[in-house]
Structure 1
Amino acid sequence: GSGDAKAPEAGLDASGGPSEGASGDASDDASDDEKPVDQPTAMFKMIRPPVDQPTTALKLPAGPAGAGVGTDSVSDSDSERTSTFLPLRPDIPAERKAPEAESVEPAPASASVPPALAEPERTRQQPLPPLPPLDLLAELTNTPPPPPSPLRTTLRRIRIWTPLVLLLMIVFVIAQMVRPLPAPALKLSAAPTFTFEGGELKMPWPGEGQGAVEVEGVGSMGTYGPQKPAPIASVTKTMTAYVILRDHPLKGKEKGPEIEIDKKAAEQGKAEHESTAAVQEGQTYSEKELLQLLMIPSANNVARLLARWDAGSEAAFVEKMNAAAKDLGMTQSTYTDPSGLLDSTVSTPRDQLKLAKAVMQYDVFREIVNTPNVTIDGIPGRIENNNSILLKPGVGGIKTGSSTPAGGNLLWSANTIVDGQNRRILGIVMGAKNAKYLGDKLRLSIDYSYELIKQAQKDVTSAPVVRKGQVLGYVDDGLGGKTPVVATKELKAVGWPGLKVELELTDGGKAVPHSGKAGDVVGQVSIGTGAGKVSSPVALQTDLAEPGFDKKLTRVG
């Protein structure tokens, strides 16, 4: 047990038995003393086996009495014990046992120790083939897997898919919460139109020619006649003035650049069969003075002079006139000269009212056409306006025009006061020919126009369309929520008997908020367009709340 065996006693060989020379005679002993001989020494190395492995112990036989070696009665040591093999698989026999320890007979001293005795015998087991996880678990527990069934398959699928479904639901909820909310919008719930009382409007339309009347910013009061392109004579100069002011605008008291009278304009000023201005070559007039000569006495030579000054040639200016007409939506108008002397320059009443609305936005133009007469340095006498009704109450002028093909024509403006505000009425009479002389034809068109002006001034009125506090619509949050909005003040519309006006509910140029307090202004309601447009702010009737969790979660799209 100490690991190193003691040297053999005298009389024992290396294997523990009696030595061969123990019974020799004395002579042999003497001989041995004379010749010293190395005696082989046998060493027994006790190997301590590893844990849980069966070992083979060397069992030494008992020697003679008094030899100091163990006896036959000595019991086996712990190293001779073996482990018991318990199978986990049914195909391994349970009777398999670990190899028993073997006894080693004493060997002669000269013999070497067999290799089998140098180290303990080990138990060897063949490796098992790899098994699926469930089968391996069954092998280890010695419990066979349950037989497959639809229920077990369904449960297993539920266990597999449930975590994935829960993860997808969590991602969906988070995505719905962080998605931007749809932009709120104002929706009109009140009646979209309002009709003025009083029955049908009755205008004193002339029995010849064609024309139209319109209240600026409100709508048309009606038309008469064929509404087809026809010569417009000097009414053409309205487009000439519009192009000049568009390209060279004048503000306030400005008079504009000085323009020199060329030889051609001076010579044309002496023409006998057309309206002209007596200008002299080399004279200079401001832009505003030439516009006065263009619109008040209707000077053809000044119209051509302005065309050459603006575009370089009359032909180039005519191209600009037609381009401007196209921009204004005058689809039935054609301009062939800047003065209107040519019968090929044609237009319709509706097209001329489109031009009138555009050119009357210039302050200097309104000032000029509303002037009954004017005096200009360098021009002898006082220049009178051909529109003789300019002195009538509320009557303004734009442009007269007459020729044999065109008859008498007048493009006019008038004003009326409604609820303390000035309202502009625009109209035109074309093709007045029921007279012998050209001057009488022009006078006839002026008379027709004045009758229309008086009736329009009488019939144009106002009526309350929206009351203060009236619910007009709601804020739609895009997810089903609707918060009502109300008018903050009374709103009156301008119109006439039988007119139907439309209400429009807008945000007023500002984005509608997602939340707000009752009374917060969120938009406006308006009636009409342009200069005749009237509006009133609208406010929240109740608090506006942002959509809740349930609406955010269930929204689609």
Structure 2
Amino acid sequence: MMRKTVILFTVLLLLFQLQPVAAEEASNDLALAEAASSAILIERDTGEILYEKNAHEQLPPASMTKMMTLILIMEAIDDQKITLDETVRVSEHAASMGGSQIFLEAGEEMSVEDLLKGVAIASGNDASVALAERIAGSEAAFVTMMNKKAKDLGLENTRFQNPTGLPAPEHFSTGYDMAIIAKDLLKHEEITKYTSLYEDYLRKGTEDEFWLVNTNKLVKFYDGVDGLKTGYTSEAKYCLAATAKKDNMRVIAVAMGAESPKKRNQAVTQMLDYAFSQYETDLLYERNQPVTKISMIKADKDQVDVVTEDTVSILLKKGQKKSGIETSIKINQDLQLPLDKGSKVGLLEVRKDGEILSETALLIDEPLKQAGIWKLFKHSLKELVKK
């Protein structure tokens, strides 16, 4: 059995007063994103809402849908179900997609990385379906995965019918849900390697060379923007989920239902300007930072590091003093072997005056398996010596 200490340590980080930023406070008397029918602005690490407008209204998300597609692609890469350099054979169904596309041919083979670029930069519907079929076996099976992931994220106003965002009955989301999806996608920091590119090429050096141009023009014209996803259909109008990082603070701004790309970009720019002029963050822990160790008597290793699943920060108004924040680490008491690398083993809580500001999952950074007989014998002998 694991040692029964639940709270391993509590650290007093700062001294005076800090009030968590409230959405109601942040949204008062602001006239942001007037050109959008729905909008929301959040700080990425804490998830705090800095501004919102009709953020829970169900609307067609158009190609912002592809953020969920990208999450599942990045998870498949992380889990080594696919690799960036493997080739994918394009089906007739994938090649038949209309709308935004990279003009894949049925039977053509293209690397996962190039298809990923096609989705992230050019919003290719054909590339999205090709990767969906590779990961799940069919587009329909992939959509089931998308909706399960939405449920896992606690999204109550999102329903997907395809991985592209092409118009379909009962395909909807909200500004808030899109912001949460963007937040989850950004756990895979390497995605911005692709979404930040303004241009690139596919099939380079061949007669079928294809120029990719980012549909998100803010990556070129707004300092700090490195993603994430545009969207447009005649029903959805112009949409954008953008992210930008300056210093330690990363924010996500979502605008839906604007009448033109210019008005969409203007709405997002207003929200980004507001965030960076009014707020800052204080970083407490990096993603994957070791914070403690655990040991289990019957495990094949004496100890393994426990790391943060995500970055942990506190949000401050500009000029606000840092103050009495406590962090505590809680390890689950009912862990059972074996445990895979990345298994959730506890929570890191950030509190102010007894109120939880944030909870971040804690993971083990190595697998733990059942110890062999010799390992168990040596451990038992060691315990006897201690007595």
TM class by shorter chain equals 0.5 to 0.7
Question: RMSD across aligned C-alpha pairs, in angstroms?
Answer: 3.7
Trace 1:373-522 onto structure 2 (pairs within 5 A): 373-377=199-203, 379-391=208-220, 392-417=222-247, 422-433=248-259, 441-461=260-280, 493-496=314-317, 504-508=325-329
Q: What is the deviation of 1:320?
A: 0.8
CA contact (8 A) 2:85 2:113 kept: yes
Q: What is the deviation of 1:226?
A: 5.5
User: Take 2:69 and 2:138, find their aligned partners in 1: how far apart are those partners?
Assistant: 13
Q: Which has the higher contact order (CA 8 A, sep 6+)?
A: 2
**Counterpart in 2 of 1:108?**
none
SS where residue 78 of structure 2 aligns?
Answer: coil
**Counterpart in 2 of 1:247?**
76
Q: What is the deviation of 1:502?
A: 8.9
SS where residue 118 of structure 2 aligns?
Answer: helix
Q: What are the superposed Cα offsets for residues 189-230 of structure 1, whole Å, 9 maximum, x if unpaired?
A: x99952489xx6565412241111111223211211252111
User: Take 2:321 and 2:190, find their aligned partners in 1: how far apart are those partners?
Assistant: 34
Matching of residue 283 in structure 1 with residue 283 in structure 2: no
Q: Structure 1-normalised TM-score?
A: 0.47
Matching of residue 335 in structure 1 with residue 160 in structure 2: yes
**Counterpart in 1 of 2:343?**
none
Q: What are the superposed Cα offsets for residues 40-67 of structure 1, whole Å, 9 maximum, x if unpaired?
A: xxxxxxxxxxxxxxxxxxxxxxxxxxxx
Q: Higher strand share goes to which structure?
A: 2
User: Take 1:230 and 1:193, find their aligned partners in 2: how far apart are those partners?
Assistant: 40
User: Take 1:304 and 1:320, find their aligned partners in 2: how far apart are those partners?
Assistant: 13
CA contact (8 A) 1:389 1:446 kept: yes
User: Take 1:186 and 1:423, find their aligned partners in 2: how far apart are those partners?
Assistant: 25
**Counterpart in 2 of 1:232?**
61
User: Take 1:239 and 1:353, find their aligned partners in 2: how far apart are those partners?
Assistant: 11
Q: What is the deviation of 1:293?
A: 0.4
CA contact (8 A) 1:289 1:376 kept: yes
**Greater displacement, 255-264 / 309-318:** 255-264
The aligned amino acid for 1:415 is K
CA contact (8 A) 1:217 1:530 kept: no
CA contact (8 A) 2:179 2:253 kept: yes
From 205, 218, 232, the equivalent of 2:32 is 205
Trace 1:164-243 onto structure 2 (pairs within 5 A): 194-195=18-19, 201=26, 203-207=30-34, 208-218=36-46, 219-225=48-54, 227-243=56-72
Q: What is the deviation of 1:256?
A: 3.9
SS where residue 243 of structure 2 aligns?
Answer: strand
Q: What are the superposed Cα offsets for residues 308-365 of structure 1, whole Å, 9 maximum, x if unpaired?
A: 2222221111111100100011111000111110243211111111111111111331
SS where residue 117 of structure 2 aligns?
Answer: helix
The aligned amino acid for 1:459 is Q
SS where residue 371 of structure 1 aligns?
Answer: coil
User: Take 1:380 and 1:246, find their aligned partners in 2: how far apart are those partners?
Assistant: 29
CA contact (8 A) 2:86 2:112 kept: yes
Q: What is the deviation of 1:526?
A: 6.2
CA contact (8 A) 1:374 1:383 kept: yes
User: How many residues were matched structurally?
Assistant: 293
CA contact (8 A) 1:240 1:321 kept: yes
**Greater displacement, 401-410 / 453-462:** 453-462
User: Take 1:462 and 1:443, find their aligned partners in 2: how far apart are those partners?
Assistant: 30
Trace 1:512-551 onto structure 2 (pairs within 5 A): 529=358
Q: What are the superposed Cα offsets for residues 265-303 of structure 1, whole Å, 9 maximum, x if unpaired?
A: 3344xx4xx111122233322112111101211111222
SS where residue 214 of structure 1 aligns?
Answer: strand
Trace 1:272-351 onto structure 2 (pairs within 5 A): 274-344=99-169, 345-351=171-177
User: Take 1:203 and 1:367, find their aligned partners in 2: how far apart are those partners?
Assistant: 33
**Counterpart in 2 of 1:365?**
191
Trace 1:79-228 onto structure 2 (pairs within 5 A): 194-195=18-19, 201=26, 203-207=30-34, 208-218=36-46, 219-225=48-54, 227-228=56-57
User: Take 1:210 and 1:263, find their aligned partners in 2: how far apart are those partners?
Assistant: 37
CA contact (8 A) 2:56 2:157 kept: no
Say if 1:499 and 1:221 are closer, same or farther in 2 by CA, change over 3 A. farther
User: Take 1:362 and 1:227, find their aligned partners in 2: how far apart are those partners?
Assistant: 25
The aligned amino acid for 2:243 is S
User: Take 1:374 and 1:443, find their aligned partners in 2: how far apart are those partners?
Assistant: 23
Say if 1:410 and 1:250 are closer, same or farther in 2 by CA, change over 3 A. farther
Say if 1:530 and 1:373 are closer, same or farther in 2 by CA, change over 3 A. farther
CA contact (8 A) 2:8 2:328 kept: no
User: Take 1:507 and 1:386, find their aligned partners in 2: how far apart are those partners?
Assistant: 43
User: Take 1:317 and 1:186, find their aligned partners in 2: how far apart are those partners?
Assistant: 42
User: Take 1:499 and 1:224, find their aligned partners in 2: how far apart are those partners?
Assistant: 26
Stretches of structure 2 lacking an aligned partner (at least 5 in a row): 1-6, 283-312, 332-347, 361-387
CA contact (8 A) 1:276 1:298 kept: yes
User: Take 2:349 and 2:154, find their aligned partners in 1: how far apart are those partners?
Assistant: 29
CA contact (8 A) 1:205 1:452 kept: yes
SS where residue 361 of structure 1 aligns?
Answer: coil
Say if 1:503 and 1:288 are closer, same or farther in 2 by CA, change over 3 A. farther
The aligned amino acid for 2:66 is K
User: Take 1:374 and 1:263, find their aligned partners in 2: how far apart are those partners?
Assistant: 25
User: Take 1:293 and 1:496, find their aligned partners in 2: how far apart are those partners?
Assistant: 38
CA contact (8 A) 1:204 1:455 kept: no
Q: What are the superposed Cα offsets for residues 222-276 of structure 1, whole Å, 9 maximum, x if unpaired?
A: 211252111000111111111122123289xx624211122333344xx4xx111
The aligned amino acid for 2:110 is Y
Q: What is the deviation of 1:494?
A: 3.5
